[in-house]
Amino acid sequence: MRHRFVAVLGLLIGLLVPTTATTPQAAAATPLQVYGAWHCGDDFCTWGRVRSVAEFDSMNHWLIDRGDGRPSVNLVVLSFVEPLKLLHRTNDATTVNGIPRGMTPEIVQYFTSHGIRVMLSIGGITYTDEWDAALAENPTQLGLNAAAVADELGVGIEIDYEQNTDPDLAGLQSFIDAYRSQHPYDATGSDPAARLTIDTAPGDRWLIDINRKATADWLRTDAPVLDYANAMVPARQPSLSSATANWQEHVDGKPQYAPPVPPLAPAKFTGGLYIAYGRSPLPECTDFASSLQKATGPFVQNLAPNGAGATAGMLGYMFWAAEKPSDRGLGTQPPDSCEGGVGAGATAYSVPVPMPPLRQS
C-alpha cells in the first residue's frame, strides 16, 4: 500500500507541477565598454620629450597588439598635463603651448589609427597645487584652453584634481562650463573632444567633496554633464574584497555623511587596478587567469544600481599605468609587457574596439 500511495502521490504532483523548470535564469553579464590604460610615457608621467613613433612602439606595442593583431585596450589616457602651464599656454623645455612635448599628434595617431580612443589627463597628485592656482586665477580660460587642445589633437579630456581638503568646486564648475560651451555632451561618443571625464577616489572616503559634487551634479543619468568617472587605484593593489567594497561604496553612496554623498549609477564609472607596481610583474599585466580583472569580473559586470541608474554593471576597467609610471619598480615595457594580462582580458571579455557608444543609464 505504501508504494502505491507514493506512486499515486507522485502522479498527482506531476500533474500539478509543470515539467519545465520555472526557476528564473541569471541575467546575462553586462558587456564591458571601457577597458583602458593611463599612460605615463617613459619619464614618470612627465611626457617631456618628443619621441619617434618607432621608438615609442618598441616600448608599447602590446597596447595596439595583444598578440593576434588586435589592441589590448580601447582607451589610452596620456598622463599628465600641468594645469597652470595649460592655462598660460607655456612654452619651455618640456612644454609646447601648455602641452607636454611628448604628447604629439603622431603619438595620438599611433593609437587612434588602431581604433583606440585617446584622452589627456589634466593634473594628477603631483599637480594638485597647480590645479588650485589655475582655478583661482582663471578657471574659464583653463576650460577654454583644454577644449582647444582637445579639438587640435582630436582627444578627450580627463579631470584629475586630487585636492582632498577644500577643493575649489566653484572654479571646477566654471572649468567644466567653459569646456562644455565648446564641446557639448555627446551621448553618441562620436566627437572625441566631447568626451570629458573625472577621477574620483577608489571609494567614497577620500576626495569626498569632489566625489559628492560630481555624483550629485555632473554624473546624473537624467542630466549628464561629464561622461563618467574613474574610481582610481588605492595606495597599493587592492585585494578582491577591498576592490569590490570600494566600488560598492560609489553605488551605495554615503547617506550617513553630512551632507550625504548620493549613490552613483554603475553605468557612470570604471574601476582602477594596477598593472605596474613594485619590482615584480603583476598578474594584472602578465597573467589574466590569476588577475584581479578576472576575479572581479562577475562583480563589475553585474553590480546592481542602488538608488541611481537603471542598468547593472560598471562601465569597465582602467589600468595604472602603461610604460614607466614611477622611478621605483617595473613598468610595462618589454620584457614585462601586458599582452598576457590586459590583452588576454580584452579577449576574455570581448572588449569592443573601437569603444562603442556608452550606456546612459
Is the link from the previous residue into 259 a cis peptide, with omega within 30 of 0? yes
Q: Is residue 58 part of a domain?
A: yes
Q: Name the nearest CA neighbour of 62 among 106, 24, 110, 104.
A: 110
Looking up residue 289, the CATH number of its domain turns out to be 3.20.20.80
The C-alpha cell at 123 is 593634473
How far is the C-alpha of 140 from the C-alpha of 64, rounded, in Å? 36
Residue 142 lies in a domain: yes
Within a domain: residue 198?
yes
The domain in which residue 326 lies consists of 29-348
Residue 230 lies inside a defined structural domain of this protein: yes
Q: Does a structural domain hold residue 2?
A: no
Residue 1 belongs to some domain of the structure: no
Evaluate whether residue 55 is within a structural domain: yes
Q: How many domains does the chain fold into?
A: 1
Residue 19 within a domain = no
The per-residue pLDDT string of the chain (361 residues; one tens digit each, 9 = 90 and over) reads 333 323 333 333 333 333 333 333 446 899 999 999 999 999 999 999 999 999 999 999 999 999 999 999 999 999 999 999 999 999 999 999 999 999 999 999 999 999 999 999 999 999 999 999 999 999 999 999 999 999 999 999 999 999 999 999 999 999 999 999 999 999 999 999 999 999 999 999 999 999 999 999 999 999 999 999 999 999 999 999 999 999 999 999 999 999 999 999 999 999 999 999 988 899 999 999 999 999 999 999 999 999 999 999 999 999 999 999 988 888 999 999 999 999 999 999 999 999 999 999 9
Tell me the pairing of strands 95-96 and 99-100.
antiparallel
- Residue 244 and residue 299 in contact, taking contact as beta carbons nearer than 8 Å: yes
